[in-house]
Amino acid sequence: MDARTENGKSLTSFAYIAVGTVSPAPFAKMIPDSLGAFLKSAGHISGKRCYAFILNKGLRKGRVLSSLMKMMESEGMYLKKSDILANAAEAEAVGSKLHIDKTSV
């Protein structure tokens, strides 16, 4: 889902949620406001296991990832893993290795 265009979509039925973003500007250290608004209106996400990632762009990648993780945790999400990813192939490789319990919702 794209947080910029799909605000109000529910994530309640998902057992594991992966949230990713890019730095909005080269020197930015915060995440886009639209992502925070999306998660606030995403239904019951407190207690959901999750994965946070950002793309390897911008100069303050660590700060952007930290901001994303703090925002997710403030919504009650249970952060299992986080990464700074270089490209789509790396994202796919990481996604295939995430330990997701498909029996619990």
Task: Judge if pTM exceeds 0.75.
Answer: yes
For the chain, give the percent of residues with pLDDT over 90. 46
Q: Which residues pair with 54 in a beta bridge?
A: 21, 84
Segments making up each domain of the chain, as ranges: 16-89
Whether 65 and 84 have beta carbons less than 8 Å apart is answered as yes
Residue 89 CA: distances (Å) to CA of 49, 52, 54, 55, 96 = 23, 17, 14, 12, 11
Considering just the CA atoms, what is the radius of gyration of the chain in Å?
13
| SS3 at position 69 | helix
Please indicate whether residue 50 or residue 30 has the higher confidence score (pLDDT): 50
**Which pLDDT score, from 0 to 100, does residue 97 have?**
83
Beta bridge partners of 16: 49
